[in-house]
Amino acid sequence: MTIRRLGPGDEAIVVQLGGEQPLTHAQAAELVADERTLYLVAFDDEEPVGYVFAHQLLRRHGDRSQLFVYDLEVNESRRRRGIATALMRELELISREHGIQTGFVLTNSSNAPAMSLYRSLGGVRPNQDDTMWEFDYTA
């Protein structure tokens, strides 16, 4: 297994990983061209078997930036083999290289595999009160 950060020229891989709602080639190009986007893919030979997708968020106080892990996915047939852990460890290395000292991810408390993974990676839940609010801007 190898892990590689996607960049310009990897648009076809981004489209392939899109699942039920794949991006267009143009959308994929815009995504991988953004230096603040970290899109790491795990490959078994040439086959993508998992990915982690994160954004470097600039901040106006405290650390100059923080990492938001937006999406982590491993093919169902490849789970429980350390792929997600390897992806997250590689993301940590790249974050450190970019001076990013903290990061966060959102998940459902009922997602036991995700909760176990993030805990095993040293993640902590700062409190039980955090709530996420969503806004619809389509109107």
Pair 7, 41: CB distance under 8 Å: no
**What is residue 35's three-state secondary structure?**
coil
Rounded CA separation 28/5 (Å) = 14
pLDDT category at 70 given cuts 50, 70, 90 is: very high
pLDDT category at 120 given cuts 50, 70, 90 is: very high
The encoded tokens of residue 134 equal 């969503």
Pair 91, 40: CB distance under 8 Å: yes
Rounded CA separation 48/132 (Å) = 31
Answer yes or no: is pLDDT of 132 > 80. Answer: no
Rounded CA separation 96/93 (Å) = 5
pLDDT in tens, 95-118: 999 999 999 998 888 888 999 999
